[in-house]
Amino acid sequence: MSLATSSRIPEAAIRRLPVYLRVLDELQQADVEIVSSAELAVRTGFSPEQIRKDLAYFGAFGTRGVGYETAALGQEIRRILGLSAGVRAALVGAGHLGTALARHSLAKDKGVRIVAIFDNDPAKFGRNIDGVIVRPLADLAAAGRRLDVQIGILTVPATAAQAVAEQLVAAGCEALLNFSPVKLDVPPHVFVQNIDLTMELQSLAYYTSVRREPETEADKPE
């Protein structure tokens, strides 16, 4: 009962589904009722075969010789991801990044709703971020499972991250979005997605020509 790991479906495929969903919604907006994998490929940048394979992991949603119904496929993806049920998230850390994220996500409902925001800093208590009030971090432990949140978002300093993660898991979170540069230690049933902004910037530097110094020393010795 506790083995929730789906295992057969590549994580990369799951991460592409929201991209398909966005394009499908745009097409529907434009009254396009049918779309081919080739057309989706142009709009997403993924290959048509990949798109077909990704979708085929979950069923046969298209019509051969025709394509996919935009509306129906959109609903299927929403169902697969669990967005139609409406997922609830708690965000911890109402600093600049946390606030930006909350606004970003609350602006338009995309199936995941931030329903509670916590912080440590009394100066921030009571602040209203697009309709959600910033509460003391202590409330997270107190409210616990009554919050009924499935996703936790960490935009806290590295020093606080592990403790906050544990409280989010205790509150019932099964998936965490972690912006702290820390490897979180969580129970195996909890899925962690890390976003490390410093890492993103630093790794980009590699693809820049700046680094070319007259270097002789450390070339691979054959």
Please pick, from the candidates 1, 2, 5, 11, the single residue that binds DNA as defined by CB under 7 A. Answer: 11
Query: Taking CB within 5 to 8 Å according to partner kind, which of DNA, a second copy, none is near residue 48?
Result: DNA
Minimum distance, C-beta of residue 4 to DNA, in the bound complex (Å): 17
Minimum distance, C-beta of residue 184 to a second copy, in the bound complex (Å): 9
Determine, following the binding rule CB under 7 A, whether residue 67 of this chain makes contact with DNA.
yes
Determine, following the binding rule CB under 7 A, whether residue 49 of this chain makes contact with DNA.
yes
Determine, following the binding rule CB under 7 A, whether residue 218 of this chain makes contact with DNA.
no
**Which residue type is seen at 111?**
G
SS3 state of residue 219: coil
Residues 179 and 197: beta-carbon distance below 8 Å: yes
Determine, following the binding rule CB under 8 A, whether residue 123 of this chain makes contact with a second copy.
no
The token pair that represents 135 in the structure block:
């509460």
Which of residues 65 and 207 has its CB atom nearest to a second copy in the complex?
Answer: 207
SS3 state of residue 154: strand
Minimum distance, C-beta of residue 141 to a second copy, in the bound complex (Å): 21
Which of residues 12 and 138 has its CB atom nearest to a second copy in the complex?
Answer: 12
Compute the distance between CA of residue 150 and CA of residue 90 in angstroms, rounded to an integer.
8
- Which positions from 74 through 113 interact with a second copy, judged by CB under 8 A? 76, 79-83, 85-87, 89, 95-97, 99-101, 103-105, 110-112
Q: Taking Cα atoms as reference points, which of 152, 163, 93 lies closest to residue 124?
A: 93
Please pick, from the candidates 60, 201, 204, 210, the single residue that binds DNA as defined by CB under 7 A. Answer: 60
Q: Exposure pattern of 144-165 as b/e (b: 16+ CB <10 Å)? A: eeebebbbbbbbbeeebbbebb
**Which residue type is seen at 218?**
A
- Which positions from 30 through 59 interact with a second copy, judged by CB under 8 A? 43-45, 57-59
Which of residues 46 and 191 has its CB atom nearest to DNA in the complex?
Answer: 46
**Which residue type is seen at 112?**
V
Phi, psi (degrees; rounded to nearest 5) at 8: -80, -25
Ranges assigned E (strand) in 72-204? 87-92, 112-119, 128-129, 132-136, 151-154, 175-178, 191-194
Determine, following the binding rule CB under 7 A, whether residue 170 of this chain makes contact with DNA.
no
SS3 state of residue 82: coil
Determine, following the binding rule CB under 7 A, whether residue 20 of this chain makes contact with DNA.
no
Q: CA dihedral in degrees (86, 18, 129, 149; nearest 10)?
A: 40
- Which positions from 165 through 204 interact with a second copy, judged by CB under 8 A? 174-177, 181, 183, 191, 193, 195-204
Instruction: Please report, as ranges, the residues that interact with DNA according to CB under 7 A.
Output: 10-13, 36-38, 46-50, 52-53, 55-56, 60-68
